Chains A and B, each alone.
Chain A
Amino acid sequence: MANYYNIDDILAEEEFVPVVFHKAANGVIIDPSSETNSVEQGAKVELPLWLAQDLYLRQAISISVPACFNQRTRLEIQADAACVDLKSRSPYFYEFGCKIAPLVGDKTIEILLLSAFKIRYKEILTKAYTAAYTTASKFLTLLTKEESNLYEAAQVSMSAFKKWRMGGPRLQRASVLGRKRRSFE
């Protein structure tokens, strides 16, 4: 738990990872499909990251690379990172990747994340400042949470500037001024 109060950080740890149990566990309903309340040794189960992390530390399980970092995704990212639908793979693709990389001991995940972000960053930049909302809306569905935050930050500051440039009422009335005065008996 890098950041206890960050909702995105918490949600990123909710992503499922495939694990293999080294030890049998009794009295737990980890695997909803199993008939008994136990997990056998060697069972393959999908667990949320926060649980897998702790079990991994106790050497009860081994973690394999989740589906969103499989070979197919990597090839797609290499081909054209800007067009890959990362949101459907995981809305917290980058955060999840950063957390899972040390657990599975895969250095290539970090390289993948950085190269994907470098290319997608440029795309977000051009879309955020220049493109109209209608053309960008299709592109927005492909973005992960972090990327759409980035997009919105750019969009909001640009539209605030445009609004100021267009003018409008220079003086705004304080909300208390509009009220009717209460009469005291």
Chain B
Amino acid sequence: MAGQSDPHISLFSAEELEFMAEDELIEIVPNMRMDPLNFICVIFKSGDFGPFFPQIASQVPLWLAVALKKRGKCAIRPPQWMSVENLTRVLEGERESQGAFQVLPFHYVEISRLLFDHAREDIPDMYMVRSLIEDIRDVRIHKVETSLEKFSGTSAVKIPNLSAMEVNIIRPFVGRALQAFYKHDNPEKIPDVDRASSAQTRAANNEPRVSATEEITDRFHF
């Protein structure tokens, strides 16, 4: 994780997450003719995109779509899930079920922000879509908080369908909190008084303690 800006506060900053989200694929409709682009790519099967022909839709990474859009070379097709009907359905689902989260793309917060910033004229009902996504995000963050309230001791935490940004917001807090719970939950693991004699057994006791803590916090990293 060489790119993390501040390892102590949060694993990634919001800007870094946005950068990662730019690797998601999106459909564009170019208005120019261009030869295929051959990138070195580790995420997708191949880094070849194009060739591009006017009015023929093509899949490209989001960063490329934004770059082309800025030059006026294409129109971006908003993804399926960003339609008003789908988002209304998701919002209703979020409000109805208290425990479970609706399925949304892992980077939905970042993708929607990038599209709102750079391709506002390509999104039909842009204001409606934007307010829906903001509502969904607020409801979900509130739900995450209420589900965190249920912690009382060290158990494996499982919250399916959480998005990258939501995980990132709660990660520093949850990591610390679980560590504190772990510390107080296992009083028998506190080192013995007579350390001189039991230094070796203590070292042995400490090993599983550290790894178990990491395992618990790790489940949050997905």
Contacts and interface: CB of A to CB of B under 8 A. Distances in A.
Interface stretch (A42-50, A68-76, A77-85, A101-109): A101-109
A102 B172 contact: no
A64 interface: no
A126 to B, nearest CB: 7
11 contacts: A57-B194, A99-B190, A107-B187, A114-B184, A118-B153, A121-B151, A130-B145, A150-B180, A156-B9, A160-B13, A164-B14
Contacts of A103: 193
Interface string A9-30: 0000000000000000000000
A92 to B, nearest CB: 13
Interface of A: 2, 56-57, 94, 98-99, 101-103, 107, 110, 113-114, 117-118, 121-122, 125-126, 128-130, 146, 149-150, 153-154, 156-158, 160-161, 163-165, 167, 170
A164 B15 contact: yes
Contact of B152 (A57, A118, A167): A118
Contacts of B192: 102
B21 to A, nearest CB: 12
A146 B148 contact: no
Contacts of B187: 98, 101, 107, 110
B168 interface: yes
B59 interface: no
Contact of A153 (B9, B14, B191): B9
Contacts of A121: 151, 177, 180-181
A106 B177 CA distance: 25
B173 interface: yes
A159 B187 CA distance: 35
Contacts of B173: 125, 128, 150, 153-154, 157
B184 A57 contact: no
Contact of A156 (B152, B172, B193): B172
Contact of B193 (A57, A118, A149, A165): A57
